[in-house]
Amino acid sequence: RFKYDLPNRALVTGGNGFVGRRIVAMLLEQGCDVTVFDITKGFEDEPRVKMVVGNLVETADIAKAVEGIEVVYHVAAPHASHPPAVQFAVNVTGTRALLQASAAAGVKKFVFTSSASVVYEGENQAGVDESTPIPTASLDSYTKTKADAEALVLAANGQHGMHTAAIRPHGIFGPGDRQFFPVLVESARKGKTKYALGEGRNVADFTFVGNVAHAHLLAAEKLGRVPGVDGQAFFVTNDAPVPF
Ligand code: NAD
């Protein structure tokens, strides 16, 4: 078990989702005061969580959520299957509004859940690190809007006394996953796994959900304290999963 030195009053956007729930659980375990902001309801049985149901495209909803908050974990994003207009409204306009509201509310630290796909150009990539530039032309609206949101978050570093960083996981797996493994298993059951692209030797990077949450808490701990964290984006992948 890790003990983190975290700001106490935390807001988790998308706290009712797969990654958000894991971050919320770990923050509660650390004794933090947790507010969840999500478009869906949740945490009815968890009195330690203050639930704010709202939409990132509504500035009034956001203002309610950031009141009295010291650290924001901005995890919420629409699933990649949503239309481009929704991706843009939530990921770009919503993130900008959340940054502005956070700064106005005196938030000190802001950690954004980005994606490893922000550097993807449509060709194989191996051994990529944070020096890899973000391509000017993105492949789809999800990638483009995640990259634009990340750029907004990193550019906000140092403004109004707020420290910001971004975490870039790739495909996330672990308990609570509703999208990746369940779909994989369902496909296998239906006998849809007999096709291979190329010679079947493709590799992909996956990140355990506990490690993704761990990276967010580490960023929140180190922002404003350790050189090389403020205003930076970090890929996260697996070494040993965080016991949870
Ligand atoms: P998820 O769908 O389980 O959770 C997202 C949450 O955000 C949901 O609870 C949803 O209700 C909420 N949300 C969506 N739109 C909203 C809005 N307009 N206002 C308020 N809340 C809203 O997804 P997840 O897998 O937990 O993903 C979390 C984050 O991680 C996302 O930012 C995603 O881009 C990023 N990410 C995920 C993966 C992955 O493999 N799951 C990989 C890389 C990056």
Q: Is 55 in the pocket of ligand 1 (CB under 6 A)?
A: yes
Unique residue bearing structure tokens 């790739």: 170
Please tell me the residue having the least CA distance from ligand 1 atom 31.
77
At residue 161, the pLDDT reads 96
At residue 225, the pLDDT reads 97
Nearest to 18 by CA among 144, 169, 145: 169
Which domains does the chain possess?
A: 9-236 (3.40.50.720)
Tell how far the Cα of 80 is from the centroid of ligand 1, in angstroms: 9
- CA separation for the pair 211, 9 (Å, rounded): 22
Nearest to 72 by CA among 41, 43, 104: 104
Indicate whether 21 pLDDT > 50.
yes
Indicate whether 243 pLDDT > 60.
no
pLDDT tens across 33-46, in order? 999 999 999 999 99
Contact between 72 and 13 under an 8 Å Cβ cutoff? The reply is yes
- Interface ipTM: 0.99
pLDDT tens across 53-84, in order? 999 999 999 999 999 999 999 999 999 889 99
- CA separation for the pair 184, 207 (Å, rounded): 16
- CA separation for the pair 141, 147 (Å, rounded): 10
- CA separation for the pair 119, 137 (Å, rounded): 10
pTM of the model: 0.95
**Cα pseudo-dihedral 178, 183, 185, 189, rounded to 10:** 140
What are the structure tokens assigned to 13, written together?
């956007």
Q: Is 20 in the pocket of ligand 1 (CB under 6 A)?
A: yes
Tell how far the Cα of 238 is from the centroid of ligand 1, in angstroms: 20
What are the structure tokens assigned to 211, written together?
């490690």
Q: Is 77 in the pocket of ligand 1 (CB under 6 A)?
A: yes
**DSSP three-state, residue 152:** helix
What are the structure tokens assigned to 94, written together?
């919503």
What are the structure tokens assigned to 225, written together?
């304290």
Q: Is 16 in the pocket of ligand 1 (CB under 6 A)?
A: yes
